[in-house]
């Protein structure tokens, strides 16, 4: 997950700390594999790669290349109906195309015609490479902090990044303020699940109510009712301690029925 976060959020790779320069050919082979999928290491990263051992380069490749293939869609096998398009379609009769299409649709997409792929000459394109740099834990910590600082709902991938950071112990920078309450609740739930509670998440009375609502799969906007269940004693003690710290009478009045439940 760390390499995926480094590539997607920081445009770089995390390299092993051990340096034991051996054969330059291994690092060049890895770089050529990156280039085949549209990625190019910058000078700093290329120099760092050249100092890695064969074992480290091999391990790095095993971690990075599946991520690169996933990000570029190369992990998906595409099987076109007409592998020799466009000439194959242009040379076929309307009747043949119609019959093939009908057979494919009537089988609900399970039937495909069998055609032999013709040999094609190798062609080259002017590729605009995506540059990769050298990434460390500090860069990842900043990137995760930026996710939590978002004023909008975060993507499913970014939610997985936050979950990975909390569960794995990956350091990240806690922002002074998390403006989007859904992100506060997500982080609070993860902290509670992993015995890493952080009281700084609670700024006011309603934050406690939102967190409890989130833990009960309710609507954290508090616009609708939530079916509250009994929380573990340890969780209740943590939340009550913070509730005592921020409690204001007017906040209880605003959502009186929910607090009673």
Which residue ranges make up each domain of the chain? 2-76+129-134, 137-260
Which helix (H) or strand (E) segment is 158 a member of? helix 156-168
> Which residue, 6, 261, 253, 217, is CA-closest to 132?
6
**How far is 234 from 142, CA to CA, in rounded Å?**
31
> Which residue, 64, 57, 72, is CA-closest to 25?
57
Supply the pLDDT for residue 123: 63
Rounded mean pLDDT of 22-38?
Answer: 82
pLDDT tens across 49-68, in order? Answer: 888 888 888 888 999 999 99
Quote the mean pLDDT of the chain.
Answer: 86
The proportion of the chain whose per-residue pLDDT surpasses 70, expressed as a percent, equals 95
pTM for the predicted model, two decimal places: 0.72
**How far is 175 from 154, CA to CA, in rounded Å?**
15
> Which residue, 72, 30, 54, is CA-closest to 13?
30
Query: How many CB atoms are located within 10 Å of the residue 133 CB?
Result: 16
Measured CA to CA in angstroms, residue 242 lies from 129, 136, 188, 189, 234 at distances of 50, 34, 12, 15, 13
pLDDT tens across 211-244, in order? Answer: 888 888 888 888 888 888 888 999 999 999 999 9
The DSSP secondary-structure symbol of 40 reads E
């Amino acid at each position: 997950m760390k390499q995926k976060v480094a590539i997607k959020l920081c445009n770089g790779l995390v390299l092993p700390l051990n340096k034991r320069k051996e054969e330059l050919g291994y690092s060049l082979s890895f770089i050529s594999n990156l280039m085949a999928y549209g990625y190019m290491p910058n000078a700093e990263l290329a120099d760092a790669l050249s100092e890695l051992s064969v074992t480290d380069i091999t391990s790095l490749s095993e971690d990075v290349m599946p991520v690169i293939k996933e990000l570029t869609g190369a992990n998906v096998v595409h099987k076109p109906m007409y592998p020799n398009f466009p000439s194959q379609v242009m040379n076929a009769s309307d009747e043949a195309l119609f019959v093939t299409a009908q057979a494919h649709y009537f089988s609900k997409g399970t039937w495909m015609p069998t055609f032999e792929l013709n040999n094609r000459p190798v062609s080259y394109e002017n590729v605009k490479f995506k540059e990769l740099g050298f990434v460390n834990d500090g860069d990842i910590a900043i990137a995760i902090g930026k996710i939590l600082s978002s004023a909008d709902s975060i993507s499913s991938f970014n939610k997985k990044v936050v979950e990975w950071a909390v569960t794995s112990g990956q350091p990240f920078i806690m922002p002074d303020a998390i403006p989007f309450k859904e992100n506060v609740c997500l982080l609070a739930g993860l902290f509670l699940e992993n015995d890493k509670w952080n009281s700084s998440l609670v700024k006011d009375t309603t934050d406690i109510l939102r967190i409890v609502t989130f833990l009960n799969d309710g609507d954290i906007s508090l616009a609708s009712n939530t079916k509250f269940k009994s929380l573990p004693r340890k969780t209740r003690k943590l939340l009550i301690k913070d509730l005592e710290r921020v409690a204001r009478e007017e906040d209880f009045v605003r959502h009186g029925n929910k607090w009673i439940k």
